[in-house]
Amino acid sequence: MIRRLLLTLLFCSLGMLAMVSAQNSKYWVFLKNKKSVTFDPYSYFDKKAIERRIANGISLVDSTDFPLNSIYETSITSLADSVSHSSRWFNAMCVYASSEKIEEIRNLPFVSDVELMESAPIACSVEGAGWDTTLNASMTSILEKQTKRMGGDLFENAGIDGKGIRIAIFDGGFPSVNTSPVFEQIRKENRIIKTWDFAKNKEFVYGYMSHGTMTMSCIAGMIKGKKIGLATGAEFLLARTEVKREIFSEEENWLAAVEWADKNGADIISSSLGYTYQRYFQNQMDGKTTLVTRAANFAARKGMLVVNAAGNDGDNDWHIVGAPADADSCLSVGGIDPITDFHITFSSLGPTWDKRAKPNISTFGHVAAAGKNGMQQVDGTSFACPLAAGFAACAWQMNRSLKNMQMFLEIEKSADLYPYFDYAHGFGVPQASYFTENKKQISDTSFDFVKKEDVLKVMVRQAYLDKKTGGFQSHLYYNIQDTDGLLTEYNVILVSSNEVLSFRTSNYKKGEKLNVHLGSYTGSYTF
């Protein structure tokens, strides 16, 4: 009898558990206005944030920076179970409330909308994690390549290391950043300006997931005199926004962190997170639907350069870039394989659902990074993103007069495939030479289009083949672009003789375009 009772109780508790978890949910409560609030930008913003606004021609008094109306806040707080965060930009509060209370909140005259929240996972893999202080040959090789591929030695020779640029990193924790020799110089020079754990609402961030340590090392780490990332002289704001391994991210934390970064003068946000199928559908990757995407665009409007990982869904059903990498103003970074030098299989692809071109650029998707206890080789666009963020800091240091979106475009232009573009590589890997030599290297024409009757051939010039020293110079990229400017296919092929490609022109519609890139030369043919 007792057992039967116990089992009945167990069944009931299962049901109750479900009901309880359904009842006390987390919601975004959006407010209608900011009536009767006062705002002093000089007391709210960090000096650096004011400088950035002035440099970008942004007003210091913008209603989106105003605090929330305190009367509204008090009313909502009295009804909610608890308040987690609030957002000035979205004029919203994040609250825990029962379904009855949230209805009461929804009916308040100053509430414009209520949105249910959930946490959302994104897949980012860490391979070969382990304690390793030494740099083996394979690790050294990757380490040297990951900055050299962007022409990092040119920045180094020019003494450019991101000095004066403030980078906010959003991640799941930064264990050993406060002790590791990889970040010693940063600590010595007090260049970790502020830290905040948005999951626990406290300053300490030097624990939890080592993912943040690794991404930070890909921006600014140094090991045995070798640069892991390029911006070894930059300043940092470290925000813990994610709360579980395999990156259970909280969109709410991201929003709070981006406003915090703005307030504290960040120039660049490096965010290796993304929201995909757990929370959204693919048709919501349209650059305007998700809150985090809108926040990324907001951050750009405030003068910050948002650098975000494209995502690791290229080889699964999701396929396309996640949020916020789908944002127009977000520099979305895809991954290439350091061995093959083209798209690494897992890196998410463009276009966005609404057919916009993404990712913007690529860097290595397999890197050597500093973890909690030593160097590791790791995979993920999570690490391509900070490599690009480090590059951006150096490029911006050299061009402080540029506004954030001008810098965005310059970084795209610096990429080695530019003006060629495809949905796997974006414009390719950004190159320091574009900034240090103040121009893009113009190379000789490497191929010609030759049309005979119905056949169009792409012929590689003999001079190019003679000069070619092997390696990746022999990769030819080409795509077919339809009359709306969308790519219908794209390819990378290995060049070994003059006659590379031939096309039957009658198979293509009038106005469709063939774009080809070889060496650093891009040519197009319109059918």
Partner 1 sequence: MKKILAIAIIILISGQCYSQQILFHKDVKDTTMGKVGPNLKNFHHFYIGFGFIGGDNNGAGNDIVLGKSTNFVFGYRYKLKICKHYAIGYDLAFNSYTFALEQKKGKIFPDTILHNKKETFSYYNVGLSPYMRFNYGRRGNSIGKFIDLGAYGDWTYTARTFAKDKVENGNIVKITTSNLKYINSFNYGALVRIGFNRWVIFGSYRLSDIFKTSDTYNFSELPRTTLGLQVGIHK
Q: Would you say 9 or 463 has its CB closer to partner 1?
A: 9
Positions 475 through 494 that interact with partner 1 (CB under 8 A): 475-476, 486-494
Among 47, 200, 288, 355, binds partner 1 (CB under 8 A): 355
Among 130, 507, 509, 510, binds partner 1 (CB under 8 A): 507
Q: How far is the CB of 150 from partner 1 (least distance, A)?
A: 21
Q: How far is the CB of 279 from partner 1 (least distance, A)?
A: 4
343 contributes a contact to partner 1 by CB under 8 A: yes
Our separate counts of H helices and E strands in the chain read 15, 24
Q: Would you say 117 or 411 has its CB closer to partner 1?
A: 117
Q: How far is the CB of 349 from partner 1 (least distance, A)?
A: 7
Beta strand 499-504 with 455-460 is antiparallel
Q: How far is the CB of 421 from partner 1 (least distance, A)?
A: 13
Cα separation, 420 vs 518, whole angstroms = 10
- Residue 40: CB atoms within 10 Å: 9
Beta strand 513-518 with 521-526 is antiparallel
Q: Would you say 250 or 262 has its CB closer to partner 1?
A: 250
Positions 387 through 426 that interact with partner 1 (CB under 8 A): 422-424
Q: How far is the CB of 489 from partner 1 (least distance, A)?
A: 5
186 contributes a contact to partner 1 by CB under 8 A: no
Residue 384 CA, chain-centre distance (Å), reads 9
Cα separation, 217 vs 363, whole angstroms = 15
E strand residue ranges, 118-229: 120-121, 166-171, 192-197, 222-223, 226-227
Cα separation, 367 vs 146, whole angstroms = 7
Q: Would you say 180 or 293 has its CB closer to partner 1?
A: 293
Cα separation, 415 vs 427, whole angstroms = 6
Positions 251 through 290 that interact with partner 1 (CB under 8 A): 276-284
DSSP secondary structure code for residue 66 in this structure: S
DSSP secondary structure code for residue 274 in this structure: -
499 contributes a contact to partner 1 by CB under 8 A: yes
Positions 423 through 452 that interact with partner 1 (CB under 8 A): 423-424
Q: How far is the CB of 107 from partner 1 (least distance, A)?
A: 21
Radius of gyration of the chain (CA): 25
Beta strand 305-309 with 268-271 is parallel
Positions 2 through 31 that interact with partner 1 (CB under 8 A): 3-4, 7, 10-11, 14-15, 17-18, 21-22, 25
Asked whether the bond before 359 is cis by omega within 30 degrees of 0, the reply is: yes
How would you class 244 by CB atoms within 10 Å of its CB: exposed for 0-12, middle for 13-18, buried for 19 or more? middle
Please give the residue ranges that form the binding site for partner 1 (CB under 8 A). 1, 3-4, 7, 10-11, 14-15, 17-18, 21-22, 25, 116-118, 120, 276-284, 316-318, 320, 340, 342-343, 349, 351, 353, 355, 422-424, 475-476, 486-497, 499-504, 506-507
